[in-house]
């Protein structure tokens, strides 16, 4: 990991290296970052990818929007500033897990391009795979598994992404999943094949 410099702080390196951990796990550490509107299918697809990787004896770990907001980020709301801090902290956690050698499956709406790009910039080239989980706002509002669109459309929730807050779609994601033409199983397969083809599933 590249280390920033801080006054009076010194990074303490151990004797076990990243390569040692990756060899132990038989894989490469990487962050797979799922972005898309609420109800696009990020969590559904990430859960399937996790299941398939574990079946193949690969170490994967999910970081998921609501779960993180119930713990690590429970003091943050949905203003642009808090959304940026939410993603910054998650980016740091993803960086640590990636360094540990895990395959991180991070599903967050992460609506702002600059916040996602900052996470990418904190990782080495090839350690950040952006997956754009695409859905139209009409279809997302129709799925509405948590009833959030109903609330946002009736004004009970303010600043909801896609309704009265912007979503900046990735322009060059490594993987694009159009969930209106691709079912969750096929989407998971597409992602696992990408990891396999790109050499992440061996050390």
Q: Which residues bind ligand ADP (CB under 6 A)?
A: 36, 38-45, 107, 143, 145, 179, 182-184, 187
* Active-site annotation holds for 43: no
By C-beta, is 145 or 199 nearer to ligand ADP?
145
Give 88-115 as a 3 state SS string: HHHHHHHHHHHHHCCEEEEECCCCCHHH
Count of C-beta atoms within a 10 Å radius of residue 55: 9
Catalytic residue among 7, 110, 136, 154: 110
Beta carbon of residue 24, minimum distance to ligand ADP (angstroms, whole number): 31
- How does 153-183 read in b/e, with b if 16+ C-beta sit within 10 Å? eeeebeebbbbebebeebeebbbebebeebe
Shortest Å, Cβ 36 to ligand ADP: 6
Question: Which residue number places its CB atom closest to ligand ADP?
Answer: 41
In terms of CB distance, is 29 or 39 closer to ligand ADP?
A: 39
State the nearest-atom distance from the C-beta of 155 to ligand ADP, in Å: 21
Say if CB 94 and CB 120 are below 8 A apart: no
Positions marked catalytic: 110
């Amino acid at each position: 990991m590249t280390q920033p410099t801080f006054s009076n702080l010194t990074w303490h390196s151990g004797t076990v290296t990243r390569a040692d951990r990756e060899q132990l796990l038989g894989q490469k550490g990487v962050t797979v970052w799922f972005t898309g509107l609420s109800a696009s299918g990020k969590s559904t697809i990430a859960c399937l990818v996790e299941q398939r990787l574990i079946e193949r004896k690969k170490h994967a770990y999910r970081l998921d929007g609501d779960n993180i907001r119930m713990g690590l980020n429970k003091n943050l709301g949905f203003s642009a500033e808090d959304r940026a801090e939410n993603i910054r902290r998650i980016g740091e956690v993803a960086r640590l897990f990636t360094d540990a050698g895990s395959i991180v499956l991070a599903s967050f709406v992460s609506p702002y391009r600059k916040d996602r790009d900052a996470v990418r910039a904190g990782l080495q080239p090839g350690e950040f795979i952006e997956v754009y989980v695409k859905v139209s706002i009409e279809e997302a509002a129709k799925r509405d598994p948590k009833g959030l669109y109903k609330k946002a459309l009736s004004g009970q929730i303010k600043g909801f992404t896609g309704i009265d807050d912007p979503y900046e779609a990735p322009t060059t994601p490594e993987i694009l999943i159009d969930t209106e033409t691709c079912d969750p199983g096929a989407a998971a397969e597409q992602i696992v094949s990408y990891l396999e083809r790109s050499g992440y599933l061996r050390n």
